[in-house]
Structure 1
Amino acid sequence: MITDNSFFLPGNENGILLIHGLTGTPTEMRILAKGLNKAGYSVYCMQLAGHCGDEADLCRTTWQDWYKSVEEALTFLASKAKGCLFVGGLSMGALLSLKLAADYPDKIKGVGVYGATFYYDGWSMPWFSKTFFPILPLLKKLHLFQKRSFIEQPPYGLKDERIRATIVESMFSGDSAAAGLAGNPFPALAEMQLLAKKVKSQLSEVVSPCLIMHSENDDIANINTNARLVEKTVNAPTKFVALSESYHMITIDRQRRHVIKESIAFFDQIVKQNTNNGNSDEE
């Protein structure tokens, strides 16, 4: 069942589930979704539990709630697309995509890993993020600093100044359904740290081919400690694409068309392989 700001674009029998990031919305996956749908795929852009509302809505949820909504979205997509199923996510959505692939290796045929974020260590992040964010789960357990938020700073993950201006205007106008929240509540960041720890422990269980796309100049998550971690740890074939003219939000930034092109080629190749294997089995 489609609820809230999720949307489904019907296409052929092959389906792709797209997952947005922490405090984000399905809108940040819309351009990619339309490109994949134009190429023939059925695409479901889901809304994570607790998102597209206010900070209180988000803080009432845990990473387990977010992941449960991902599993429910996969069930929905599987009811609409009976062929190959794929998953792709941006930032925290990339981590949830990898966990889904680890947990459902027989269902997920390929993964789009866009701007994976295990560590907030990009060039725009404050010095304390590397040491303070990892202890947020402890602070949450002790009920400390639970009313605080980390307010995002320029360039907000976007190198394209025109798109940045539009997103920032929506974000600070309070339209969280369109552009997400302006701040990252500490309780949600604590849950993000717990999710990252869990997914890191499961990376070796990912056997589905992975398309790993990341900005060389990512302002939020350094390419070497995040994307390269995925590349060297998953137990699957990988294709690594480094982008030079984007920041963190690669699905909507300057090279968004390149992200679409690479994704279509990657998923098409897997569909072709599965089709050929099916024909061989019949023979």
Structure 2
Amino acid sequence: MALPEPFYFKGGQPAVILLHTFSGTPTDVRVLGRSLQKQGYTVMGPMFTGHGTADPKQIFMQGRPEQWWQDTIAAIHQLEVDGHHQIAIFGESLGGLFAMKHWPSLMRLWRAARLIHHCFQWIRVALLTAFCRNVWLGIRS
């Protein structure tokens, strides 16, 4: 069985970081990442330290909240080094906490507001599509 991997889907100049849940992996947000890439975004899905192993105990044996915050900062830094100046960060659960923690530093980049608004539209569409699909599958069973 192959273990989950982080992803880095290259696209255009605006970039999006998708952070996974506690005990989750980048696989949880990979489909959304591909959808955003098709819309022209560069998308990164890092993996929090200790996650994505065959042994769930590794989450706390290898990682801790301070390290997961550093994983988030490393992803932002990598995109900046690669020349991306418009970076939006989204996350589910634990990932959402780290996305919000970084929010004040992103607010200085007012130009990113348009990118964030556009990404929210695509996330809303993706979530609605997933919901409708689950309802449809539930009706058919």
Shift of 1:20: 0.4
Unpaired runs of at least 5, structure 2: 134-141
Partner of 1:68: 70
Cα distance between partner residues in 2 of 1:27 and 1:84: 24
Cα distance between partner residues in 2 of 1:27 and 1:12: 22
Secondary structure in structure 2 of the residue aligned to 1:72 = helix
Shift of 1:55: 2.3
Secondary structure in structure 2 of the residue aligned to 1:47 = coil
Change (3 A) 1:39 1:71: same
Maintained 8 Å contact 1:28/1:252: no
Q: Does structure 1 residue 254 correspond to structure 2 residue 124?
A: no
How much identity, in percent, do the aligned residues show? 23
Counterpart of 1:22, as a letter, is F
Unpaired runs of at least 5, structure 1: 111-207, 213-240, 244-249, 257-283
Structure number having the greater helix percentage:
2
Question: TM-score by structure 2 length?
Answer: 0.72
Secondary structure in structure 1 of the residue aligned to 2:131 = coil
Q: Does structure 1 residue 80 correspond to structure 2 residue 101?
A: no
Question: TM-score by structure 1 length?
Answer: 0.38
Cα distance between partner residues in 2 of 1:72 and 1:15: 14
Counterpart of 1:75, as a letter, is H
Cα distance between partner residues in 2 of 1:252 and 1:9: 22
Q: Which has the higher contact order (CA 8 A, sep 6+)?
A: 2
Partner of 1:99: 101
Measured on the aligned residues, the alpha-carbon RMSD in Å equals 3.2
Maintained 8 Å contact 1:14/1:85: yes
Larger radius of gyration: 1
Maintained 8 Å contact 1:29/1:252: no
Partner of 2:92: 90
Q: 1:45-60 maps to which residues of 2 (within 5 A)?
A: 45-53=45-53, 54-60=55-61
